[in-house]
Amino acid sequence: MKSNISSRLLVNLLLPCTILPAIACGPFSPIIPTPEFFALSGTHKSMSCYNRNENLRLWQSQTSARIPLRDIEEAVYHDSRARFDECTGDHPDKTSNLFYTYINNTADEEVREFLRTAKILEERREKINSPWYYPSSRNSTRETGDFNDIINLCNSNNSSRLNDRYALQAVRALFASRQYDRCIEYYDSAFRKFPHRNLMKRMAQRYAAGCWSRLGHTKRADSIFAVSGDIWSITGDNPVKYMARHNPSAPQLIEYIRSNASDTAFMKSVMPVAEQLLKKSSIPCKGDWEFLLAYCNNEYCGKTTTARGHIYRALQQKFSTDKLKDLARAYKMKLDARSGRLGSLLSDLKWIEQKTDVFNPDANEWIRRMRNIIYVDWIPRLWNQNDFSTAILLCAYADNLETFQKRQPRCIDYSSLSFQLMGSLSSARLATAYQQIKSDTPLYSFLRRAARTDNDYYNELIGTLALREENYDRAISYLSNVSPGYQLSMNIVKGRYLSRDPFTAYPTRWEVVSDYDIEYESIAAPHPQQSQINAKLNFAHRMRSYRHAIKHGSTSDERGLARLMYAIGLRNSLEECWALTQYWRGSCTGIFYPALQYRDNDFADNRYGFVYDYEKSIGHRHTEEVYNREVAAATAMLKTDEARAKAAYILGNLKTVIRNYPSTSTAAFIKTSCDNWQSWL
């Protein structure tokens, strides 16, 4: 062999044979969180949790406000009697627990003796409640344990400071020993002098109710449970309705409902209860119930307008907790979005952004809420209203809030949902949206703090979209304004995806694997001499020149060869040289990952069907069909052997050139470039 056929021949024709594995690069599917608004997520609070939290605060007030609640909880609820004895007394073990330190340093024997008694009682209760517990006497059919010493000790205590606590322990001991009649009598006598707000009385009251229930008086038991707020222990068919009638102001009622908010039938059954409660002037926290109706009407009845009325009334009322009121305002943002009301968006965003401050313990959960509101509700609504500029800015704000809050310099750009939105517009619409994005409205000025708005970023994208649309005049107009430095910073350049020659006729790249009819794409190696700087701009210039030649070429051969080159360039810009018209190739699990935890299983298709998807919008099958049709039409236009030989050479059909057109200049070039050309005929 004299020499290579030259880079124009061998490199173009042999590189497609160097097949590399397909590189899966693509956008990162955004996670659309599903935080709580009205519903409660996580472990649901029980009546015991309510009592425990209140009891910890009571212990803190009875000892020292300087003792952390977690230290009190560890000593009172978690440590065994043996561990308690080790940490208190004459020679206590060293401990960092400040509750133990307080008892030891103050010699507070009242607290020490009481807690030791309570822990002895708890040990015995656990023993008889264990499934491995057996009576000590073979003649006994049931063992209730011996609690008389504890009962007597509690009755004989002289501590006025802890008198109510000892009375509660006596009630618990009587209940554990199944002396239900005596337990009720003792409760009535011991707690008669204490007000109902007394925590120990309310806790003991639940044991008395349990006694009535075990004695067969369930209605009386339910009424006591309702008064104490223990909706979880009510045995009736409709505990919500029962509680609403007997103790509607109990905070446990609304929490019980919130903990079951995922049950559609349950929530619909609660709606009439809420409506009746709102008619009563004596109900102190009407905001809770208006919020409930807003949530139910929107989530379960599809009545967004009705829901908005309820949520606005709710925010004018009192709530049982500040947190629930904050959740109501956040939910108002969702309902405003469903209605497309932008009037209060700016003030709401400023408010919720304060909740995402890095020093707020609940900041991450508020970021999740904010993203849910924007991704789930605002963006689809704005897009359907053709308000693309607000949708893009608002989405970029949600994408980059954490980066912005932490004052990090670089926003998420190409892997973000906001970039996918921009890539789903036509080049003309994105150009218009970009001009609007730069306008100095209060809302846009606020959102731009967390969005990328530089000219290179948008010019490059608008030009790329124009390439995808075959609008080469517009592509040239925008791509000519993209700086070389910016191009070098792009991953498609760093990965050398723009170093492939778009005017080489690469072979079919899609193959079927095994018996599963699974297709994969193979990727040729980069062209060693292909410049990546202004690759898109150069491609646009050449495609525009070929299009002009197709229409105005002086001969049929000139027009046919231009049509052939245009077909090759178009196919490659969507396939082999995909980086000319796209920013990623590969796959991800839908547009959102993980799957949205909403009841709407088709959320992505229903709300985000407008997002551009290459496979659905074009697809390689369609690209190949267009390519094959255009190649056939182009070659049919050729009139001379010289033109036909050149077309065959361009398509890589060297055998066809030598066999069918041996007298052409193209055949002569092949013969003079390789001395063993006859061996591959």
Question: Is it the case that residue 101 has pLDDT exceeding 70?
Answer: yes
Could you tell me which residues come within 8 angstroms of residue 61 by beta carbon, excluding any fewer than 6 positions away?
none
What's the pLDDT score for residue 500?
85
**DSSP-derived 3-state class of residue 20:** strand
Q: Are strands 510-513 and 518-521 parallel, antiparallel or unpaired?
A: antiparallel
Q: When comparing pLDDT for 40 and 561, which is higher?
A: 561
What's the pLDDT score for residue 680?
59
Could you tell me which residues come within 8 angstroms of residue 571 by beta carbon, excluding any fewer than 6 positions away?
623, 624, 626, 627
12 pLDDT tier (thresholds 50, 70, 90): very low
Burial class of residue 25, CB neighbours in 10 A (0-12, 13-18, 19+)? middle
DSSP secondary structure string for all residues of 194-253: S-TT-HHHHHHHHHHHHHHHHTT-HHHHHHHHHHHT-GGG--SS-HHHHHHHH-TT-HHH
- What is the pTM (predicted TM-score) of this model? 0.81
Q: When comparing pLDDT for 288 and 505, which is higher?
A: 288
Mean confidence (pLDDT) of the chain = 85
Could you tell me which residues come within 8 angstroms of residue 317 by beta carbon, excluding any fewer than 6 positions away?
285, 286, 287, 290
Question: Is it the case that residue 488 has pLDDT exceeding 80?
Answer: yes
Angle among Cα 455, 457, 461 to the nearest 5 degrees reads 115
C-alpha–C-alpha distance, residues 290 and 271, integer Å? 10
Q: Please check whether residue 26 is in contact with residue 585, taking contact to mean a CB–CB distance below 8 angstroms.
A: yes
What's the pLDDT score for residue 281?
86
Q: Provide, rounded to the nearest whole percent, the portion of the chain with pLDDT above 70.
A: 84
Q: Please check whether residue 465 is in contact with residue 457, taking contact to mean a CB–CB distance below 8 angstroms.
A: no
Q: Please check whether residue 460 is in contact with residue 479, taking contact to mean a CB–CB distance below 8 angstroms.
A: yes
Bond prior to 662 in cis (omega within 30° of 0): no
Q: Please check whether residue 12 is in contact with residue 650, taking contact to mean a CB–CB distance below 8 angstroms.
A: no
pLDDT digits (tens, 9 = 90+) for 365-395: 999 999 999 999 999 999 999 999 999 999 9
Residues 282-297, mean pLDDT to the nearest whole number: 95
Q: Among candidates 530, 523, 522, which has minimal Cα distance to 501?
A: 530
Question: Is it the case that residue 410 has pLDDT exceeding 80?
Answer: no
527 pLDDT tier (thresholds 50, 70, 90): low
Residue listed under structure tokens 């049929």: 556
C-alpha–C-alpha distance, residues 79 and 67, integer Å? 17
Q: When comparing pLDDT for 154 and 475, which is higher?
A: 475
Structure tokens at 517: 């009819």
**DSSP-derived 3-state class of residue 330:** helix
Q: Please check whether residue 104 is in contact with residue 90, taking contact to mean a CB–CB distance below 8 angstroms.
A: no
Question: Is it the case that residue 621 has pLDDT exceeding 60?
Answer: yes
Residues 80-99, mean pLDDT to the nearest whole number: 89
C-alpha–C-alpha distance, residues 208 and 215, integer Å? 11
Residues 140-145, mean pLDDT to the nearest whole number: 45
Q: Where are the domains of the chain?
A: 7-30+454-639, 259-384
Find the length of the chain: 681
C-alpha–C-alpha distance, residues 550 and 554, integer Å? 9
Q: Where are the alpha helices (DSSP H) in 438-490?
A: 442-447, 455-468, 472-479, 484-488
Q: Please check whether residue 413 is in contact with residue 399, taking contact to mean a CB–CB distance below 8 angstroms.
A: no
583 pLDDT tier (thresholds 50, 70, 90): confident
Report CA 536 to chain centroid distance, whole Å: 35
Could you tell me which residues come within 8 angstroms of residue 282 by beta carbon, excluding any fewer than 6 positions away?
none
What's the pLDDT score for residue 403?
76
Q: Provide, rounded to the nearest whole percent, the portion of the chain with pLDDT above 90.
A: 60
pLDDT digits (tens, 9 = 90+) for 298-327: 999 999 999 999 999 999 999 999 999 999
Q: Please check whether residue 53 is in contact with residue 615, taking contact to mean a CB–CB distance below 8 angstroms.
A: no
Query: According to the per-residue pLDDT averaged within each range, which of 142-156, 233-247, 492-506 is highest?
Result: 233-247
Question: Is it the case that residue 65 has pLDDT exceeding 90?
Answer: yes
